[in-house]
Homo-oligomer: A and B are copies of this chain.
Amino acid sequence: MDRREGLKGFSAQLWADTLRETRRKRPLVYSITNFVAASFQANAALAVGARPVMSRNPSESREIAAGADALVINTGTPTEESVEAIRGALSGAGEGKCILLDPVGYGASSYRKSLIDSLISEFTFSHIKGNVSEITLLAGEKGAMTGVDAVLTASPPAAAVRRLSLRTGSLVCATGETDYLGDGKSVLAFSGGSPYMPLVTGSGCVLGTLMAVLSAGAGNDPAAGASCAIVLLRLAAEIADRKASGPGSFRSELLDALFRVSPEDLLEEQNRMTVKE
Query: Interface on A for B, CB 8 Å cutoff?
Result: 28, 34-40, 42-43, 46-47, 51-57, 59-60, 63-64, 67-68, 76-81, 105, 108-112, 146-149, 198-202, 244-249, 251-260
Residue from A63, A79, A80, A244 having most chain B Cβ neighbours under 10 A:
A79
A60-B109, A81-B80, A105-B55 known; A256+B249 contact, CB < 8 A: yes
Check if B146 sits within 8 Å of A67, measured CB to CB: yes
Give Cα distance in the complex from A11 to B56, angstroms.
43
29 A-B contacts (beta carbon < 8 Å): A28-B147, A36-B39, A36-B42, A37-B39, A39-B201, A43-B248, A47-B246, A47-B247, A51-B147, A51-B148, A53-B108, A53-B147, A54-B76, A54-B77, A55-B77, A55-B78, A55-B108, A57-B77, A63-B111, A64-B108, A246-B259, A247-B255, A247-B256, A248-B254, A248-B255, A248-B256, A249-B252, A249-B253, A249-B256
Give Cα distance in the complex from A111 to B58, angstroms.
10
Give the chain B neighbours of A249 by CB distance below 8 A: 252-253, 255-256
Give the chain B neighbours of A39 by CB distance below 8 A: 36-37, 39-40, 201-202
